[in-house]
């Protein structure tokens, strides 16, 4: 077979170059765009990045999501915003004593959220785009426009704990056929019984290592987006609240500068599975999703209210990001360590106070009986 020499990349047919680039994943395509002028020019084609986004986030195949992405800057911008994850290296800079109490000079507007700034943010501007994979296989894609229970965003939404729950009551019902399920055909190990699972934890380990979560928030008004998830699970809990439940926590650390004294909060994404069938029932091992939710939590473990959550989510759309996922996980780990340190210190202070109260009571009783006798 004869080999035709090629003088340069530029001498190749444009269609051939396009065919080469469309086979690449996102990071490789971005790198190829820096190699020569031809690749740089062709890599600006939106169809290439639409194909990349489709392979990473299956939810972007929906027509309504395609229209949303196109209206907020296109697929190339969407990938650049959402593939890197949010990183916050300021977590370790705040010691527990610096945010144990709110400053005396904080006004009501600072504590509850600035109303003037809040009025420029509408819950209806936000769109959640969520994709779940298990062992690299897509198992669920959901899109939620707006924020539930924020109609008119009245005082109830302002001050109550912020929460987005992607699963409706109908989705949780045992008889509903539309729930997200996992089975042996999806790569789950067969479980003969829950008693066996409690001992070896094989199902737990497979879920922890195989689950991937992406939760993208898009603001239609300011045309920005960000991925709030950590892709892989940060931690989890087995057999809670029942023996058949598994809880996994994903998330990121978000900036809360000028909103909270700690300057940072954690976005907590909860995914909960329940074992529906095991092999001892005569059917293959099957799990269903019972919860897929988002909440924001401050350093003291309190849930952030709706007003402040919208301000924080808006700031998250323009915060620092990194393609180094180990740095992202490290920032989440540091947040947890500082938060645990705060809780321990709080428990110690309460213990000291209890001891002081008991001693004061004993001294008071002894003093009383001393004067009586």
Q: Which of 194, 213, 214, 216 is nearest to 204 (CA)?
A: 194
What tens digit of pLDDT does each residue of 88-114 get?
A: 877 655 544 444 444 445 444 554 445
19 and 134 belong to one structural domain: no
pLDDT tens digit sequence for 337-353: 887 787 778 788 888 88
Give the Cα separation of 62 and 143 in Å (integer): 9
> Tokens 């939620």 map to which residue?
144
Q: Residue 46 belongs to what domain range?
A: 9-83
User: Quick check: 285 pLDDT over 50?
Assistant: yes
The answer on 26 and 157 residing in a single domain is no
Across the strands, what pairs with 241?
A: none
Q: Based on the domain organization, do 45 and 180 belong to the same domain?
A: no
Q: How far apart are CA 115 and CA 105, in angstroms?
A: 18
If asked whether residues 174 and 239 sit together in one domain, one would say: yes
| N- to C-terminal Cα separation, the chain | 116
Q: How many residues does the chain have?
A: 373
pLDDT at 82 over 80: yes
- Could you tell me if 152 and 24 lie in one domain? no
What are the residues whose beta carbons fall under 8 Å from the beta carbon of 299, sequence distance 6 or more?
94, 96, 99, 260, 262, 264, 265, 335, 338, 339, 342
User: How far apart (Å, rounded) are the C-alpha atoms in residues 286 and 277?
Assistant: 5
pLDDT, tens digit (0-9, with 9 covering 90-100), for 222-280: 999 999 999 999 988 887 778 889 999 999 999 888 888 778 899 999 999 999 888 87
- pLDDT at residue 12, rounded to an integer: 65
The answer to the question of residue 363 being in a domain is: no
Q: What is the pLDDT of residues 162-186, one digit of tens each?
A: 999 888 644 444 444 446 888 888 8
Helix (H), strand (E) at residue 156:
helix 155-159
**Same domain, residue pair 16 and 135:** no
Which SS3 state, helix, strand or coil, does residue 266 take? strand
Task: Round to whole Å and give the CA distance between 295 and 303.
Answer: 7
The rounded percent of the chain whose pLDDT value lies above 70 is 84
CA angle 205, 211, 217 (to 5 degrees): 150
Predicted pLDDT at 248 = 94
Euclidean distance between CA atoms 335 and 80, whole angstroms: 26
237 shares its domain with 324: yes
Nearest residue to 212 via CA among 191, 185, 234, 181: 234
Residues 77 and 200 in one domain: no
| Number of structural domains in the chain | 2
State whether 240 and 298 are in the same domain: yes
Where residue 56 sits, what CATH number does that domain have? 1.20.1280
Tokens representing 286? 């099957």
| Domain-embedded: residue 26 | yes
| Cα–Cα dist 347/354, whole Å | 10
Q: What pLDDT score does 172 carry?
A: 46
Rounded-to-integer distance, Cα 30 and Cα 53, Å: 13
Last residue of a domain, one of 56, 83, 110: 83
Whether 182 and 303 map to the same domain: the answer is yes
Q: What percent of the chain has pLDDT over 90?
A: 34
């Amino acid at each position: 077979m004869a080999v035709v020499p090629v003088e340069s990349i530029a001498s190749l047919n444009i269609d051939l170059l396009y065919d080469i680039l469309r086979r690449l994943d996102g990071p490789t395509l971005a790198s190829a765009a820096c190699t020569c002028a031809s690749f740089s020019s062709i890599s600006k084609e939106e169809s290439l990045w639409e194909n990349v986004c489709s392979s990473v986030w299956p939810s972007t195949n929906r027509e309504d999501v395609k229209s949303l992405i196109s209206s907020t800057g296109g697929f190339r911008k969407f990938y650049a915003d959402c593939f890197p994850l949010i990183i916050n290296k300021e977590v370790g800079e705040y010691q527990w004593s610096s945010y144990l109490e709110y400053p005396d000079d904080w006004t009501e507007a600072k504590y509850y959220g600035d109303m003037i700034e809040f009025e420029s943010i509408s819950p209806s501007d936000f769109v959640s785009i969520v994709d779940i994979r298990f062992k690299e296989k897509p198992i669920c894609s959901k899109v939620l426009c707006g924020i539930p229970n924020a109609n008119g965003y009245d005082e109830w939404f302002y001050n109550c704990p912020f929460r987005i729950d992607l699963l409706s009551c109908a989705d949780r019902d045992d008889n509903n056929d539309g729930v997200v399920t996992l089975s042996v055909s999806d790569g789950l190990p067969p479980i003969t019984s829950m008693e066996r699972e409690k001992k070896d934890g094989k199902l737990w380990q497979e879920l922890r290592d195989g689950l991937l979560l992406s939760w993208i928030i898009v603001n239609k008004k300011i045309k920005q987006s960000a991925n709030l998830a950590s892709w892989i699970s940060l931690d989890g809990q087995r057999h809670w609240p029942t023996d058949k439940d598994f809880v996994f926590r994903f998330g990121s650390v978000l900036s809360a500068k000028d909103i909270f004294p700690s300057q940072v909060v954690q976005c907590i994404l909860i995914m909960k599975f329940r074992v529906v069938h095991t092999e001892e029932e005569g059917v293959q091992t099957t799990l269903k999703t019972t919860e897929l939710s988002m909440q924001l939590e401050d350093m003291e473990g309190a849930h952030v209210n709706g007003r402040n959550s919208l301000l924080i989510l808006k700031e998250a759309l323009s915060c620092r990001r990194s393609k180094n996922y180990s740095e992202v996980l490290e920032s989440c780990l540091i947040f947890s360590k500082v938060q645990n340190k705060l809780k321990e210190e709080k428990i110690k202070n309460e213990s000291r106070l209890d001891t002081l109260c008991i001693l004061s009571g004993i001294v008071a009783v002894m003093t009383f009986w001393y004067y009586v006798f």
